[in-house]
Structures are given as structure tokens and as C-alpha cells.
Amino acid sequence: DAGITQSPRHKVTETGTPVTLRCHQTENHRYMYWYRQDPGHGLRLIHYSYGVKDTDKGEVSDGYSVSRSKTEDFLLTLESATSSQTSVYFCAISLRASTDTQYFGPGTRLTVL
């Protein structure tokens, strides 16, 4: 299994609070991604990174920001959580390009009350 961890694995928070999710990889892969998965929608890309300090928006980026200061860490921040951001969040990595095989972390279950 690819060395990808996510923290926390579960979180319950209240509307309006800031939340940061962490993705850590030990594979030295260049590309990292944050997805959310909701019933009936499949995986939707929030943001991705193609290198340290290089990030770009995905399909559903509103309300989210990211940072990548080191190759191994990719942080996803919800500045002010809303109930619509209740979801399962997956981090993924790939070696050379987004069209490469993506390896996923175990996921974070976030509930915003």
C-alpha cells in the first residue's frame, strides 16, 4: 500500500469554525489531490498540487483553501465550515501526472453541525 496518511480520520465540528485536514505521504510523489465524496456525486476534485507551493483549483473549490510547503504534506482548510461541507474527504497522490494511477489515503469523515 502507498504510504499515505490522513489526519484526523474523523471530526465533528460546528458551523463557522475553521477546520484543517492533513495529508501526509512518504512516496515522494509530485502530485497531490483533495477530493470529497458524497452519495450520488462520486469523487469530486477540490484542489490539487503539482509541486511545492504550486496548487490549482478543482471542480468544487469554493470554501476551501490548500497549502503545500513540503513535498510530503498537503493541507486542506475550511475557513468557516458549513453543513454542506459534511462529507468524506480523500487525499490522493500520483507520481508524474494526474493521468497516472492515483493512490488514495484512508479518508477523513467530517461532520459539520
Partner 1 sequence: RKEVEQDPGPFNVPEGATVAFNCTYSNSASQSFFWYRQDCRKEPKLLMSVYSSGNEDGRFTAQLNRASQYISLLIRDSKLSDSATYLCVVTEGSSGSARQLTFGSGTQLTVLP
Instruction: Decide whether 28 or 101 has the Cβ nearer to partner 1.
Output: 101
Binding positions for partner 1, 45-84, rule CB under 8 A: 45, 48, 50, 56-59
In whole angstroms, the minimum distance from the beta carbon of 29 to partner 1 comes to: 13
Instruction: Decide whether 95 or 113 has the Cβ nearer to partner 1.
Output: 95
Contact flag: residue 89 with partner 1 (CB under 8 A): no
Which amino acid is located at 69 in the chain?
Answer: S
In whole angstroms, the minimum distance from the beta carbon of 76 to partner 1 comes to: 14
Other beta carbons less than 10 A from residue 59's beta carbon: 11
Q: Which among 34, 27, 28, 64 has a CA at the least distance from the CA of 49?
A: 34
H helices present in the chain, as ranges: none
Helix-, strand-, coil-residue percentages of the chain, each rounded to 5: 5, 60, 40
Q: What residues make contact with partner 1 under the rule CB under 8 A? A: 31, 33, 35, 40-45, 48, 50, 56-59, 90, 96-99, 101-107
